[in-house]
Structure 1
Amino acid sequence: MVRKLVLCSAILLSGAVSAQIKRPKLVVGIMIDQMRWDYLYRYYDRYPEGGFKRLLNGGFKCENTMIPYIPTYTACGHSCVYTGSVPAVHGMTGNSWFDNDKGREVYCTEDDSVQTVGSTSDEGKESPRNLLATTVTDELRLATNFGSKVIGISFKDRASILPAGHLANAAYWYDHKTGAFITSTYYQKDLPDWVKAFNAQKLPDAYYKEGWNTVYPLASYTESTADSVAWEGTPFGPDQTHFPYNLSRFVGKNYGALGTTPFGNSIVEEMCKAALTGENLGKGEHTDFLAVSFSSTDYVGHAFGPNSIEAEDTYLRLDRTLADLLATLDEKVGKGQYLVFLTADHGAAHAAGFLQEHNVPAGTVSLAAWRKGLEDRIEKVFFTPRLIRDVLNYQVYLNRPLMDSMMLDPRKVENEVVKYLMAQPGVARAFALDRMDNEPLPEVIRTSVENGYFPRRSGDIQVILMPAWMEGFKTGTTHGLWNPYDAHIPLVWFGWGVKPGSLHRTVYMTDIAVTLAAMLHIQMPNGAVGHVIEEVAD
């Protein structure tokens, strides 16, 4: 009898081992900052086979992926992709917001309780503590009893920290003052040797010495406007208005300028390759996760706009960068052994000047001018200064404690603010957020506003602009609104467990983390509101 029990136990144990949950060795989340969906195809004929084309032709494309909230900003987008949630739940209501509890503006990842690791600047005083929900990377760590490694890498602090989550082994971002990759004491007390060795190469200076010229002959950039037009900025100095850009003046200084060149993406990719080796990612017993975000596309877009040769060249170079990263993953992890998803945190509008030249209604507004005008108007009407706390993220923050102390009727103040805003050029709607149910709005706008509303960090009055109107930016472009140019993003799945195909029904940014959790057989993040994209996870 004892021998039979032992035999049965052995069989059961053997069965448990053979039925082990199958997961990839490594997941690589690729975020491309300010990537409009149409960039997948606008330059398609110029992409060689190893980068975007490899992902598109060998992967699964969700062609109608939308962002379901406003504002469509970097911190919100990175948080949404990895939490499967919206600002109304995860709390990231902007890159910055006026915190109604603290009574001041707050940066999304600021944390004065930690210190910079890797330099003497203050650019490392950051952590994910302001993010209120778990990420899929957190859930992977929990599911494997912290056996999985999670590393976040980006040029931007928030684009590294928020995807990596609360439980990451490390997050690294670029220090604009030193040109080195840094982290904070939230993660570790000292940089690993492989990061120190990487920083010692002084790659920013090497890129500066190289300068930025087009990767192909200038005349071949037929998808773009002329090399120098009125709506393009001059981020490298007023004397540099066209290719080639001489960047040697920045050697040893102004390391932040690197972000507004394709080389900001190049250095992030080199850092990722170093992390693959330095952290032995994809080599352990459990699935590891590399969360990478390429930010130079955003800096270049803001400076030059989507129709510039600079933007086209940045994407043609990014294509080569992706091809090199995929080839490295083939070598280090193995074909079919890693899972990739590629998406964006938001898109971008065409430059207002470009649209106006082509007779498309467009324009810009100034939130600073709105604030000044509102302060003057409200003080004149209610005989009380300082009733406007802030104008940020297309919202007006009112000083409710002061209104209470002065016994002012908040509805009358709100109505006066709305009246002022509705008289401003480019404004389509202005309404009190706590009364949005009474506002006749198209459903897509109403849902976007509701999903972006977190009372402790949101304002009192919401502004909706007319299509193609945006904040500031006489040159270049920006983003932040519900419109498809900001909210329609790419989503491509590739590698382990992914069958080539495409999907044209609408899915949402919130579905990414939930789908990934289903593929990995782990719990979805604790604030997730998305749904599994069954065609991908099947």
Structure 2
Amino acid sequence: MRTTILLPLALAASCCATAAPARTPAAPQPAAQAPAPKLVVVMAVDGLPQEQLVRYRAQFGQGGFRRLLEQGAWFADAHQAHGTTVTAVGHTAILTGAYPYQHGIVANNWIDRATGEEIYCTEDRAHQYIGEATGPHDGTSPARLKVDTLGDQLRYATGNRAKVVAISGKDRGAILLAGKNGTAYMYMEGSGNFASSTWYMQQHPAWVQRYNAGKPQDRYYGKTWRPMLADSAYAMDAEGPLFALSYYSESGQPDAGYYKRLKEGPYVDELTLDFARAAIEGEQLGANPAGVPDLLGVSLSAHDYVNHRYGPESRMSHDHLQRLDRMLAGFFTYLDKRVGFDNWLIVLTADHGFANSAEFSQQQRVDAGRVDGKQLIAGLEQHLAAAFKGVKPIANASLPNVYFDQQALDKAGVKRADVEQAARNWLLAQTGIADVYTRTRFEEAGGTGTRLDLLMRRAWHRYESGDLVVVPRAYWSFGSGTSGATHGTPYAYDTNVPLLMMGKRWITPGSHATYAEVVDIAPTLATLLNIRPPAGAEGRVLTEVLRPAGK
């Protein structure tokens, strides 16, 4: 039995179709709207909690987050409304409008029941990166995605004339935004290039080849990331010295070690936005000769890496967000000039939030800590072996999912429900565990009616998820380290994310205290693009922000 502890926490949870919640009906849709935008930009800031957007708002410049907050619509109570708040699941929600129980992306990694092996959310061994080394678990296709996306619908509605491109520092961040019929480009940590995979094409277009040939990633070699604001600006952060992080390699020249190190700071985001500019120009996005809308997905990955390593309360996280703000300002100005402010629309959100590091939370007198997942599963195995002599009920685990060996149970004549109850009782007695969901509990109609139950049921997929899903207590996580932070739970610090929309001709500016979900993005954009929403979409159209034509 092999146990994998996922950091970030891959908390796979919830739901049968009958358990999907009823959403409050939206107000009637405006009767008339402006023609569709020429370019829709959907941007995800990986690992950005709503709390950080609010806490550092006063220090933002004029053209980035502040512009979105003042010239766009902002939902302060927006959520990734499932219990599996990790990168793959959150990115999938954005443009499918679906929850994991439908779309099937239940974690970053999970166990394949057919083989018993751990699989990665976007791995596909039938495809390879173009011109780059490809490992067996690298993300190369959306084959495991069980539903379509907004981009897929846009391509269908326009006879494939619309262009759909997604770019990210992470393969899953690009692929799960691009969908089945778009094109994904991802940062290669071995070379610093951006590459696609053979799922999308056999050879890169000329503009990609030119971009990579210029080696823009090498311009950061030897640079040092230092705080950009005055020392006093960081007084609200966790105590500690100001930082200086240099980007180099042991070999003395740009190499794989250096390119990987670039991911843990602002420069990979700068490269991602540079490549997005190259894609806009190379593909003529927003100036489609067919006169149809185009869709650009951009996932900015570095904030997640920074928060994992240092915690969202850190000075590094604070400074990174300020740097990202200035990068966004430059990118938005570029779009104004290239596409025209009257012609483009943006939605900015995040795939998940973040918990503070356990050590920081403890300093704040919060009950927080880490659960050593390997020890937890080893103890559970020992307990079940004693309770069911001669049977090894657990086949594998990739926390928070635990998978049973159903064949072994059947052969021994042991009822699954008995093993579930014995495992649940033991796990609930362990430090840091809040709840344990069993397959039987998930498959039963209804639930307790609590928010936790709702989110967990939404995120559980009948085939892909485990027979047990273990939920840590608030401010607790799976891991054995003594520093850094993570995410993945159904608690508010992980679910509450920014949701900002800006488009002069389509979006009415203003802040909204009304509840919204990330799954609302796809049906809202489908309305603006005059296309049908993705098949699995369960979100509502955010009619309160749509501007009627001529106003």
Normalised TM-score (structure 1): 0.90
**Residue 217 (structure 1) shift:** 3.4
Q: Output one character per residue of 1:473-512: Cα deviation in whole Å (capped at 9) or x when no partner.
A: 5311111111110001110000141111121111112111
**Residue 374 (structure 1) shift:** 1.6
Match in the other structure for 2:345: 339
Q: Residue 85 in 1 paired to residue 98 in 2? A: yes
Q: 1:398 aligns with which of 404, 409, 418?
A: 404
Q: 2:210 aligns with which of 197, 204, 215?
A: 197
CA–CA distance in structure 1, aligned partners of residues 537 and 232 of structure 2: 48
C-alpha contact 1:73 1:95 (8 A) present in aligned 2: yes
Q: Output one character per residue of 1:68-125: Cα deviation in whole Å (capped at 9) or x when no partner.
A: 2111111111111110000000001001111223432211000011122031343765
Q: Residue 525 in 1 paired to residue 531 in 2? A: no
Q: Residue 29 in 1 paired to residue 29 in 2? A: no
- 1:223 maps to a residue whose letter is M
CA–CA distance in structure 2, aligned partners of residues 470 and 121 of structure 1: 31
**Residue 515 (structure 1) shift:** 0.8
CA–CA distance in structure 2, aligned partners of residues 224 and 419 of structure 1: 40
- 1:478 maps to a residue whose letter is T
C-alpha contact 1:99 1:456 (8 A) present in aligned 2: no
Tell me the secondary structure at the aligned position of residue 269 of structure 2: helix
Q: Output one character per residue of 1:194-232: Cα deviation in whole Å (capped at 9) or x when no partner.
A: 21222223233322321211122344322312335xxxx
CA–CA distance in structure 1, aligned partners of residues 360 and 179 of structure 2: 39
Aligned ranges for residues 68-467 of structure 1 at < 5 Å? Answer: 68-122=81-135, 126-168=140-182, 170-227=183-240, 243-249=243-249, 251-254=254-257, 255-284=259-288, 285-384=291-390, 386-436=392-442, 437=444, 441=448, 443-467=450-474
Match in the other structure for 1:10: none
C-alpha contact 2:348 2:499 (8 A) present in aligned 1: yes
Q: 2:515 aligns with which of 489, 506, 515?
A: 506
Match in the other structure for 2:545: 536
CA–CA distance in structure 2, aligned partners of residues 435 and 515 of structure 1: 33
**Residue 428 (structure 1) shift:** 1.6
Q: Output one character per residue of 1:40-82: Cα deviation in whole Å (capped at 9) or x when no partner.
A: 2211111110100011100011111112211111111111111
Match in the other structure for 1:57: 70
Quick check: which has more Rg, 1 or 2?
Answer: 1
C-alpha contact 1:114 1:184 (8 A) present in aligned 2: yes
Q: Output one character per residue of 1:238-263: Cα deviation in whole Å (capped at 9) or x when no partner.
A: xxxx6211222363231212111111
Query: How has the CA–CA distance of structure 1 residues 125 and 322 changed in structure 2, closer, same or farther, with 3 Å as cutoff?
Result: closer
Match in the other structure for 1:494: 502
Identical aligned residues as a percent? 35
**Residue 398 (structure 1) shift:** 1.1
**Residue 359 (structure 1) shift:** 1.0
Query: How has the CA–CA distance of structure 1 residues 439 and 113 changed in structure 2, closer, same or farther, with 3 Å as cutoff?
Result: same
Tell me the secondary structure at the aligned position of residue 510 of structure 1: helix
Superposition RMSD in Å: 1.9
- 1:147 maps to a residue whose letter is R
**Residue 270 (structure 1) shift:** 0.7
Query: How has the CA–CA distance of structure 1 residues 440 and 110 changed in structure 2, closer, same or farther, with 3 Å as cutoff?
Result: closer
**Residue 325 (structure 1) shift:** 0.7
Q: Output one character per residue of 1:256-286: Cα deviation in whole Å (capped at 9) or x when no partner.
A: 1211111111110111111111111101111
Normalised TM-score (structure 2): 0.88
- 1:165 maps to a residue whose letter is G
Q: Output one character per residue of 1:378-431: Cα deviation in whole Å (capped at 9) or x when no partner.
A: 223323464212332422211112211222221221122112211210112223
Q: Output one character per residue of 1:502-534: Cα deviation in whole Å (capped at 9) or x when no partner.
A: 211111121110111111111000111111111
Q: Which runs of 5 or more residues in structure 1 are unaligned? A: 1-18, 229-241
C-alpha contact 1:375 1:385 (8 A) present in aligned 2: no
Query: How has the CA–CA distance of structure 1 residues 93 and 515 changed in structure 2, closer, same or farther, with 3 Å as cutoff?
Result: same
Q: Which runs of 5 or more residues in structure 2 are unaligned? A: 1-31
Query: How has the CA–CA distance of structure 1 residues 520 and 440 changed in structure 2, closer, same or farther, with 3 Å as cutoff?
Result: closer
CA–CA distance in structure 2, aligned partners of residues 279 and 157 of structure 1: 20
Tell me the secondary structure at the aligned position of residue 184 of structure 1: coil
CA–CA distance in structure 2, aligned partners of residues 298 and 530 of structure 1: 26
CA–CA distance in structure 2, aligned partners of residues 199 and 384 of structure 1: 58
Runs (4+) of structure 1 moved beyond 6 Å?
A: none
CA–CA distance in structure 2, aligned partners of residues 509 and 309 of structure 1: 28
Q: Output one character per residue of 1:330-379: Cα deviation in whole Å (capped at 9) or x when no partner.
A: 11100121010000000000111001012111111122221211222222
Match in the other structure for 2:3: none
C-alpha contact 1:431 1:439 (8 A) present in aligned 2: no
Tell me the secondary structure at the aligned position of residue 505 of structure 1: strand
CA–CA distance in structure 1, aligned partners of residues 34 and 341 of structure 2: 19
C-alpha contact 1:368 1:391 (8 A) present in aligned 2: no
Aligned ranges for residues 28-47 of structure 1 at < 5 Å? Answer: 28-47=41-60
CA–CA distance in structure 2, aligned partners of residues 70 and 100 of structure 1: 21
**Residue 438 (structure 1) shift:** 9.0
C-alpha contact 1:71 1:393 (8 A) present in aligned 2: no
- Where relative contact order (Cα < 8 A, 6+ residues apart) is larger, the structure is 2
